[in-house]
C-alpha cells in the first residue's frame, strides 16, 4: 500500500479502534472516544479497547485490538508509553492500516530509542504512525474527530498541519469564531514516521483541499521537503509559520517535540526555492489561507493595482516591488473602460486611482 493510501485511511477511516479507552471522563482515552462519537462517526464502526472494561459510552469493549471482529483502518493509542510497543505489535498482528499515537514520553523527553522501536515495529507490521506526542486529528470531509479537541472545526478547504498540539486545540475554537473552515487538522508531534512533507504530498492530491498551511518547529529531511513542496506549490499554495528564530526558542522547541530547529536563513532560502510562503504570525497564516482559497493561482505575473486614493496606490506599489511582482502597462482598451467609472482627474496609470469620487 502506498503512503498516500495509508494517509487516506488515517484521515478518512471507515473503522476506528481506541486503545486505552477509559470510563473516567477526565482521561484522554474517554475524551477521544466521546469526541469520535459526538462528531457523528458511525457507532457500529467504533471499537473501544480496554481489558478491564466491558462497556464504555454504550459500546462494547474488547480486551485487545486483535479481538475486534472487523478490519481496522485507524487505531488511536492513549495508553502509557511503556505499553505502546506491545500495542503496536498487536496492531501488526491485526494488520491495521494506520496508528495515531497520542501518548507522550518519547523523543521529546530524550527517550529516542523507545521512539525508534515504535517505527521499527510499524515498518515490520506494514502500517504507518502519526505521532507520538500529539492531540490527534480532525477531518471534516468524513466527520472524524479522533482527538481531544472540543468539537470539529467548521468544514472548509484549508488543511492545517501543526507540530503543536496545544495550538491545534486553541485554533479549533478560534477558527470557529472567525468562521474559517478546515478540511483537516493534523497534529504531527514528534513525527517519528509520517511527517509534514508526507502530509503536504497527500493534500497536494486531495480534492477537498485548496490551500495547505502548517505550523512547524523543524524539518528533518530538507531534501525531501524541497522536492515535494516545489511540486505541490505549483498546484496549491503552501503557507508555513516556522518557529525557532531566537536562540532561546530553539531550546524550547527541542524540549517540546524533540525537533532540531536549524538555521533560519536556510529555511528562508528553502521556502523561496520551493514557492512556499512564510507567514510571520498566525493572523497572516490564516488571512493568507482565506484569500488564497478564494482566488485561483495566477497564470502570469502581470499585476494591476486599483485604489480610490493615491497614497494607498503608492504603498501597494512599494509592497509589490518588494515581493517581486510586475505592474503591467495598461493597454488602451482597458484604460478606456476604467475612464468610464472615474472622474476626469482620475489616473489610468498603474496603480490606477479611481479617486474618492469613483462610481
Cα 169 off chain centre by: 13
Asked if the structure places residue 174 within a domain, the reply is: yes
Asked if the structure places residue 358 within a domain, the reply is: no
| Domain extent at residue 342 | 302-353
3-state secondary structure of 162: strand
Given 292, 324, 340, which residue is the final one in a domain? 292
Do 135 and 255 share a structural domain? yes
Closest CA to 33 of 90, 76, 83: 76
| Sheet of 128-130, strand order | 46-49, 16-19, 74-77, 98-101, 128-130
Domain count, the chain: 2
Asked if the structure places residue 25 within a domain, the reply is: yes
Do 343 and 211 share a structural domain? no
Given 263, 292, 321, which residue is the final one in a domain? 292
Do 341 and 253 share a structural domain? no
Do 178 and 125 share a structural domain? yes
Residue 92, domain CATH = 3.40.50.261
The pTM of this model reads 0.87
Asked if the structure places residue 324 within a domain, the reply is: yes
Do 119 and 13 share a structural domain? yes
Do 228 and 165 share a structural domain? yes
Do 338 and 273 share a structural domain? no
Strand partners, 154: 181
Do 321 and 250 share a structural domain? no
3-state per-residue secondary structure call for 248-281: HHHHHHHHHHCCCCCCHHHHHHHHHHHCCEECCC
Do 154 and 74 share a structural domain? yes
| pLDDT per residue as tens, the chain (359 positions) | 899 999 999 999 999 999 999 999 999 999 999 999 999 999 999 999 999 999 999 999 999 999 999 999 999 999 999 999 999 999 999 999 999 999 999 999 999 999 999 999 999 999 999 999 999 999 999 999 999 998 999 999 999 999 998 999 999 999 999 999 999 999 999 999 999 999 999 999 999 999 999 999 999 999 999 999 999 999 999 999 998 765 554 554 444 444 545 688 899 999 999 999 999 999 999 999 999 999 877 777 789 999 988 888 999 999 988 888 889 999 999 999 999 888 888 888 999 998 887 66
Do 106 and 135 share a structural domain? yes
Asked if the structure places residue 359 within a domain, the reply is: no
* Ramachandran quadrant class, 57 (left: phi over 0; alpha: psi -120 to 50; beta: rest): left
Query: What's the count of helices (H) and strands (E) in the chain, helices before strands?
Result: 12, 18
How far is 122 from 129, CA to CA, in rounded Å? 7
Do 215 and 164 share a structural domain? yes
Asked if the structure places residue 297 within a domain, the reply is: no
Closest CA to 194 of 58, 11, 49: 11
Q: How many CA atoms lie within 13 A of 152 on its CB side?
A: 22
Do 310 and 254 share a structural domain? no
Amino acid at each position: 500500500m502506498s503512503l498516500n493510501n495509508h494517509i487516506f485511511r488515517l484521515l478518512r477511516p471507515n473503522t476506528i479502534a481506541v486503545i486505552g479507552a477509559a470510563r473516567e471522563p477526565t482521561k484522554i482515552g474517554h475524551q477521544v472516544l466521546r469526541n469520535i462519537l459526538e462528531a457523528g462517526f458511525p457507532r457500529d464502526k467504533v471499537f473501544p479497547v480496554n481489558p478491564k472494561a466491558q462497556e464504555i459510552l454504550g459500546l462494547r469493549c474488547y480486551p485487545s485490538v486483535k479481538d475486534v471482529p472487523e478490519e481496522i483502518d485507524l487505531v488511536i493509542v492513549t495508553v502509557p508509553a511503556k505499553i505502546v510497543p506491545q500495542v503496536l505489535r498487536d496492531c501488526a498482528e491485526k494488520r491495521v492500516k494506520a496508528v495515531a499515537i497520542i501518548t507522550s514520553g518519547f523523543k521529546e523527553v530524550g527517550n529516542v530509542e523507545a521512539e525508534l522501536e515504535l517505527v521499527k515495529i510499524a515498518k515490520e507490521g506494514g502500517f504507518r504512525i502519526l505521532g507520538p506526542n500529539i492531540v490527534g486529528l480532525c477531518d471534516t470531509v468524513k466527520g472524524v474527530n479522533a482527538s481531544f479537541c472540543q468539537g470539529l472545526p467548521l468544514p472548509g478547504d484549508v488543511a492545517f498541519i501543526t507540530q503543536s498540539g496545544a495550538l491545534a486545540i486553541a485554533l479549533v475554537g478560534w477558527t470557529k469564531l472567525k468562521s474559517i473552515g478546515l478540511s483537516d487538522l493534523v497534529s504531527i508531534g514528534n513525527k517519528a514516521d509520517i511527517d509534514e512533507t508526507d502530509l503536504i504530498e497527500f493534500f497536494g492530491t486531495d480534492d477537498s483541499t485548496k490551500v495547505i498551511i502548517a505550523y512547524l518547529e523543524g524539518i528533518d529531511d530538507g531534501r525531501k521537503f524541497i522536492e515535494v513542496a516545489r511540486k505541490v506549490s505549483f498546484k496549491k499554495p503552501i503557507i508555513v509559520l516556522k518557529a525557532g528564530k531566537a536562540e532561546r526558542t530553539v531550546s524550547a522547541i527541542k524540549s517540546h517535540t524533540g525537533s532540531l530547529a536549524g538555521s533560519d536563513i536556510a529555511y528562508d532560502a528553502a521556502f523561496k526555492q520551493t514557492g512556499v510562503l512564510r507567514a510571520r504570525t498566525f493572523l497572516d497564516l490564516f488571512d493568507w489561507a482565506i484569500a488564497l482559497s478564494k482566488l485561483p493561482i495566477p497564470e502570469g505575473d502581470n499585476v494591476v493595482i486599483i485604489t480610490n486614493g493615491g497614497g494607498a496606490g503608492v504603498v501597494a506599489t512599494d509592497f509589490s516591488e518588494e515581493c517581486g511582482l510586475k505592474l503591467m502597462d495598461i493597454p488602451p482598451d482597458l484604460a478606456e473602460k476604467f475612464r468610464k467609472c472615474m472622474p476626469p482627474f482620475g489616473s489610468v496609470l498603474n496603480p490606477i486611482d479611481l479617486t474618492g469620487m469613483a462610481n
